[in-house]
Amino acid sequence: MGTFKAIVIDKTESGTKAALADFDEANLMDGDVTVAVGYSTVNYKDGLAITGKAPVVRRFPMIAGIDFAGTVETSSHPDWKPGDKVIHNGWGLGETHLGAYAQKARVKGDWLVRLPGAISARDAMAIGTAGYTAMLAVMALEKHGLTPDRGPIAVTGAAGGVGSVAIAILAKLGFSVIAVTGRTAEADYLKGLGASEIIDRKELAGPAKPLAKERWAGAIDAVGSTTLANLLAMTRYGGAVAACGLAGGMDLPGSVAPFILRGVCLYGIDSVMCPIDRRREAWNRLESDLDRSKLASMTREIDLSGVPEAAAAIVDGQVRGRIVVKIG
Ligand code: NDP
């Protein structure tokens, strides 16, 4: 066994520190599948873990990175054999289990999803956990019964990863999309992804009234806090909001009025412990319902050495769209 390159987070006297380092393969954690990692990506949670701005990491040293696409090297799991192309999202990777910013990862075979035939490993990580979460949110709105004729869908954190992919998917499905962004200078980018209207996030930043003018049939929210409270207050009768993020805060300063007077539903979206069947469904839907030329237009590529800088930028809300990390 040798060593491989990885972004390793260690505890220091003043907090934590992340750096590119050599990691001894003998120190990989238990798992029945070893994967040669081809690509990973930078999600908001990766940013929090690497900058130490939130207690994402539960064990030290930790290899950061919550998701990867790669090729099975060895397996004692019945579903996987060497050469299989796989995707991994969540399940505590980069939090409690050694993570994805590494040339090698050892994980449980039960955690893996087969890479859909039409999606390359690079595209899978251009989608990443952000895009897979966007798909889970769209699926929740569909399950609620929302169809394009019911009215527009608002997407908050629009220029970020979840937001960008959500806009592209919703537009391809025929929905009219209202992009809510703090970066109105990105209007052309957001319209290119399929948004039909752009609104400044300041409109949803003030204290929420119990009920406000009905503006959308549904929403996908990556922001939380007053933004989510306002989204709910502005959702049409019988509509639904899928909440997946906290980029603006973890609180929810709203009222029950939208639920009890307009029958609005609030769906919680979790990608980390999501059951495997729903993951497979989401990845199959991403194969068919996401325009890959739009995906390319929202993605840029870095290598492992660029991860710490990208991590700081995403926590500052400075990243547009998606960042792929080329590893293999
Ligand atoms: P990004 O940083 O790429 O996007 C977040 C966007 O939110 C920013 O681009 C910005 O969009 C907006 N934003 C940032 N700060 C604020 C603020 N203070 N107030 C209002 N809006 C703000 O992150 P991701 O898209 O990767 O993730 C988005 C959120 O979803 C995160 O909170 C993340 O933790 C969560 N998430 C949850 C998952 C789950 O399983 N539930 C899985 C994946 C992500 P703009 O500039 O357009 O306003």
**What spacing in Å lies between the alpha carbon of 284 and ligand 1's midpoint?**
24
Our answer on whether the CB atom of 129 is closer than 6 Å to any ligand 1 atom is yes
113-135 pLDDT, tens digit each: 999 999 999 999 999 999 999 99
125-173 pLDDT, tens digit each: 999 999 999 999 999 999 999 999 999 999 999 999 999 999 999 999 9
At 273, the amino acid letter reads M
232 has pLDDT over 80: yes
- Rounded Cα distance between 287 and 267, Å, is 24
| pLDDT-based confidence at residue 14 (cuts at 50, 70, 90) | confident
Our answer on whether the CB atom of 290 is closer than 6 Å to any ligand 1 atom is no
Our answer on whether the CB atom of 248 is closer than 6 Å to any ligand 1 atom is yes
> Closest by alpha carbon to 140, among 271, 295, 254, 261?
271
237-284 pLDDT, tens digit each: 999 999 999 999 999 999 999 999 999 999 999 999 999 999 999 999
121-144 vs 161-172: helix crossing angle, rounded to 10: 70
DSSP H or E stretch at residue 16? strand 15-24
Our answer on whether the CB atom of 317 is closer than 6 Å to any ligand 1 atom is yes
- pLDDT at position 79 is 97
> Closest by alpha carbon to 175, among 204, 200, 138, 125?
138
> Closest by alpha carbon to 134, among 319, 301, 285, 316?
285
- Rounded Cα distance between 47 and 54, Å, is 9
Our answer on whether the CB atom of 103 is closer than 6 Å to any ligand 1 atom is no
Show the domains of the chain with their CATH numbers: 3-115+298-326 (3.90.180.10), 129-268 (3.40.50.720)
308 within 8 A of 102, measured Cβ to Cβ: no
DSSP 116-152: PTTS-HHHHHHHHHHHHHHHHHHHHHHHHT--GGG--
**What spacing in Å lies between the alpha carbon of 11 and ligand 1's midpoint?**
26
Collect all residues with Cβ–Cβ distance below 8 Å to 316 and sequence separation of at least 6: none
65-117 pLDDT, tens digit each: 999 999 999 999 999 999 999 999 999 999 999 999 999 999 999 999 999 99
153 within 8 A of 146, measured Cβ to Cβ: yes
Q: Whole-model pTM?
A: 0.97
- Between the CA of residue 231 and those of 74, 90, 97, 205, 226, what are the distances in Å? 47, 27, 35, 10, 8
216 within 8 A of 234, measured Cβ to Cβ: yes
* Residue found under tokens 């390793």: 8
Better-predicted residue by pLDDT, 190 or 1: 190
Q: b/e for 225-250, b at 16 or more Cβ within 10 A?
A: bbbbbbbbbbbbeebbbbbbbbbbee
Our answer on whether the CB atom of 94 is closer than 6 Å to any ligand 1 atom is no
Q: Which atom of ligand 1 is nearest to the CA of 272?
A: 40
**What spacing in Å lies between the alpha carbon of 209 and ligand 1's midpoint?**
23
Helix/strand/coil for 307: helix
Tokens of 94: 């980069």
Question: In this structure, is the dihedral angle defined by the CA atoms of residues 3, 84, 325 and 62, taken in order, positive or negative?
Answer: negative
**What spacing in Å lies between the alpha carbon of 160 and ligand 1's midpoint?**
6
